[in-house]
Amino acid sequence: MEGARRGSSVIRATYDLLPSPQNLKAWYGEDPTCSLCQEPASLRHILSGCTTSLTQGRYTWRHNQVLRELASILEQKRTTTNNLPQTSAGQVNTNFVSAGKHQEHYTTPKDTSILQSVRDWKLEVDLDKKLVFPPEIVATTLRPDMVLWSPTTKLAYVVELTVPWEDGVEEAYERKKNKYSDLAAEASQNGWKTNIFPVEVGCRGFVATSTTGLLRK
């Protein structure tokens, strides 16, 4: 009897000490409620499905944290490349991925980066100020996350970052690709070769091949 009572109070104390939604879920099989919107707080909900998080800008904040990282890597690469000695004039490395092709088919050439051929790369990032798409390429109100372009060779790279739930990676890739296909077509009428790079970093930390592909390039 004594032992049983002690046992049950130990259990109660344990319950009282650890009243976390996760534990309640484990013990009772109930979905805990989201502290922001009262929907069942599944991991998926918290990381990518909460409308309150969405309207409060929490997902945007996370997206921008990832974007800042990517942008700083590209900016470093850009300045390093622009400061290299000039290459023989007019020589353009055409080993980029053409529209509609997936990065996996890309084979890395000896000359490592797709930026190597020229020294006038410019980079705009949609972070601290609203990105205005370079009007010399095309006039558009679309605001991708990053635009990297070279006026002399009329080469442009448009980067769109998504931080999806893992299942959404493929879908996000296609959606972004389609979003910018008209822009690329219009730009080509102005003589620009525009490459669209939709990249995904899953919200549970999974980095899609599109992202590692971009960084390799």
For residues 39 to 78, the per-residue mask of contacts with Zn ion, x marking binding by CB under 5 A and - elsewhere, is x----------x----------------------------
> How is residue 201 annotated by DSSP?
B
| CB-nearer residue toward Zn ion: 58 or 119 | 58
Q: What's the rounded Cα separation, in Å, for the pair 199 and 211?
A: 5
Under the binding rule (CB under 5 A), the answer on residue 169 touching Zn ion is no
Closest of 175, 166, 170, 173 to residue 203, by C-alpha: 166
Question: Terminus-to-terminus CA distance in the chain, angstroms?
Answer: 71
Stretch that binds Zn ion, among 27-35, 70-78, 121-129, 137-145 (CB under 5 A): 27-35
Query: With CB under 5 A, what is the number of residues at the site for Zn ion?
Result: 5
Contacts of 113 (CB under 8 A, 6+ apart): 77, 81, 217
Q: Locate 114 and state its tokens.
A: 């797709």
Of 24, 36, 99, 142, the one binding Zn ion (CB under 5 A) is 36
| CB-nearer residue toward Zn ion: 51 or 80 | 51
Q: Locate 116 and state its tokens.
A: 């190597």
Summarize as ranges the residues that interact with Zn ion (CB under 5 A).
34, 36-37, 39, 50
